[in-house]
């Protein structure tokens, strides 16, 4: 076995011995390299009792190296490839996980946020390059029609501008974001919390097939690995770290998606939140993030997202505008004059100026303007409102 193969095997064994993200394992690998780190752990030499016990529990049932050998064989069988930090394809942005510290963390998933030891990948694109121009779009599984619509639009819009979409594999927002990107013929990346050969949930099987064909399926867990619940939260740190920024579309008050955004914020990545109706439970998490984090940015569509992740002066969103109305062209004085005209009948310029509270000269100037705009007509030595245009448009409702 070559040195490279030995190192690969050791990384696979290590990522099986303790769940991905375990800091003590990451540090051992940094210090000793994967092969020596594995030897140390298998000899019962883990630096802390917790890790020692975890290793003992796993190795009590199976042989770590044998598991790794079988995983490597299965990797080939399922058409996946194994990546490690030694590969050119490795996403360098994941290195930022080294400085991810979550304030007040007490849960294991919040404490054990070390960079991945390796990745299984299905799909033809180079992982690092793809993620380097990618945006995470995450949110609720139990998304509403509104959330699905918005996530699809954002996925579509990103793909259209040659940005890759990154999400999990869940129903709801994840699937909608992927579908949007696929519809636009773009690249989309599903980061899974189980083996790339058994994407979960099964209901998205057709979607996963399409993603594997045209995008990327990625996982820190070996082929065949189960989607155990804590793994989704462990996985989220990768979605936050590997992308240029993360968009949250819908999320309940406590949810994995808000956790992903919190990680993005902690790493200084643009954290973008789509608001929703305050009457929707599926937007409570989004609104809470916007209230809690001044760094969280409200976005209403892909233009705003591109503004956050794109280069400055590039991909800027146009400012929002209301519809144009003829009266929008008028300044205050012209409006005053126009509004001072009686609904029926004619008024002289003097009386009109007095009623509008403008001087005579201004009144005449504004009446000339209003005449040009066909809003007033001259009649019987005075002015009157112009008759409505044909075909009759509904009269603009006055402000109240």
Which of 23, 81 has the CB closer to a copy of itself? Answer: 23
Which of 93, 369 has the CB closer to a copy of itself? Answer: 369
Which of 97, 302 has the CB closer to a copy of itself? Answer: 302
CA end-to-end span of the chain, whole Å? Answer: 82
Spatial contact of 182 and 211, defined as CB atoms under 8 Å apart? yes
Q: How far is the CB of 199 from a copy of itself (least distance, A)?
A: 9
Which of 322, 387 has the CB closer to a copy of itself? Answer: 322
SS (H, E, C) the chain: CCHHHHHHHHHHHHHHHCCCCCHHHHHHHHHHCHHHHHHHHHCCCCCCHHHHHHHHHHHHHCCHHHHHHHHHHHHHHCCCEEECCCCCCCCHHHHHHHHCCCCCCCCHHHHCCCCCCCEEEECCCCHHHHHHCEEEEECCCCCCHHHHHHHHHHHHHHHHCCCEEEECCCCCHHHHHHHHHHHCCCCEEEEECCCCCCCCCHHHHHHHHHHHHHCEEEECCCCCCCCCHHHHHHHHHHHHHHCCCEEECCCCCCCHHHHHHHHHHHCCCCEEECCCCCCCHHHHHHHHHHHHCCCCEECCCHHHHHHHHCCCCCCCCCCCCCCCCHHHHCCHHHHHHHHHCCCCCCECHHHHHHHHCCCHHHHHHHHHHHHHCCCEEEECCEEEECCCCCCCCCCCCCCC
Q: How far is the CB of 212 from a copy of itself (least distance, A)?
A: 16
> Phi and psi (nearest 5°) for 157?
-65, -40
Which of 62, 86 has the CB closer to a copy of itself? Answer: 62
Which of 90, 240 has the CB closer to a copy of itself? Answer: 240
Which of 90, 100 has the CB closer to a copy of itself? Answer: 100
Q: How far is the CB of 56 from a copy of itself (least distance, A)?
A: 6
Q: How far is the CB of 102 from a copy of itself (least distance, A)?
A: 14
Which of 112, 181 has the CB closer to a copy of itself? Answer: 112
Q: How far is the CB of 128 from a copy of itself (least distance, A)?
A: 26
Which of 92, 228 has the CB closer to a copy of itself? Answer: 228
Q: How far is the CB of 92 from a copy of itself (least distance, A)?
A: 28
Q: How far is the CB of 5 from a copy of itself (least distance, A)?
A: 25
Q: How far is the CB of 118 from a copy of itself (least distance, A)?
A: 17
Q: How far is the CB of 60 from a copy of itself (least distance, A)?
A: 6
């Amino acid at each position: 076995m070559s040195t490279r193969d030995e190192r690969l095997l050791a990384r696979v064994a290590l990522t099986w011995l303790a769940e991905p993200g375990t800091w003590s394992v990451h540090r051992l690998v940094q210090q000793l390299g994967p092969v020596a780190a594995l030897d140390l752990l298998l000899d019962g030499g883990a630096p802390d009792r917790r890790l020692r016990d975890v290793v003992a529990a796993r190795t009590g049932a199976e042989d770590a190296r044998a598991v790794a050998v079988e995983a490597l064989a299965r990797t080939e069988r399922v058409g996946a490839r194994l990546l490690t930090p030694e590969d050119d394809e490795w996403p360098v942005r994941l290195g930022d996980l080294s400085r991810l510290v979550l304030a007040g963390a007490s849960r294991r998933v919040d404490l054990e946020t070390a960079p991945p030891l390796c990745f299984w990948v299905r799909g033809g694109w180079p992982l690092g390059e793809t993620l380097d121009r990618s945006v995470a779009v995450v949110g609720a599984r139990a998304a509403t029609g509104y959330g699905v619509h918005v996530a699809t639009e954002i996925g579509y819009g990103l793909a259209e501008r040659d940005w890759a979409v990154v999400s999990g594999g869940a129903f709801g927002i994840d699937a909608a974001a992927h579908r949007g990107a696929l519809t636009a013929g773009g690249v989309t990346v599903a980061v899974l919390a189980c083996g790339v050969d058994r994407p979960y949930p099964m209901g998205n099987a057709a979607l996963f097939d399409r993603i594997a064909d045209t995008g990327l399926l990625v996982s820190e867990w070996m082929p065949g690995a189960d989607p155990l619940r804590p793994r989704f939260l462990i996985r989220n740190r990768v979605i936050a770290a590997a992308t240029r920024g993360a968009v949250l579309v819908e999320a309940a008050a406590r949810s994995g998606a808000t956790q992903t955004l919190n990680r993005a914020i902690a790493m200084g990545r643009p954290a973008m939140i789509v608001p929703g109706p305050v009457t929707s439970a599926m937007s409570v998490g989004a609104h809470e993030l916007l209230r809690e984090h001044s760094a969280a940015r409200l976005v209403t569509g892909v233009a705003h997202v591109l503004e956050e992740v794109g280069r400055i002066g590039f991909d800027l969103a146009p400012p929002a505008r209301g519809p144009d109305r003829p009266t929008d062209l008028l300044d205050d004085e012209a409006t005053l004059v126009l509004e001072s005209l009686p609904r029926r009948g004619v008024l002289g310029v003097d009386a009109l100026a007095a009623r509008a509270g403008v001087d005579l000269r201004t009144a005449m100037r504004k009446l000339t303007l209003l005449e040009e705009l066909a809003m007033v007509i001259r009649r019987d030595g005075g002015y009157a409102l112009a008759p409505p245009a044909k075909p009759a448009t509904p009269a603009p409702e006055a402000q109240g």
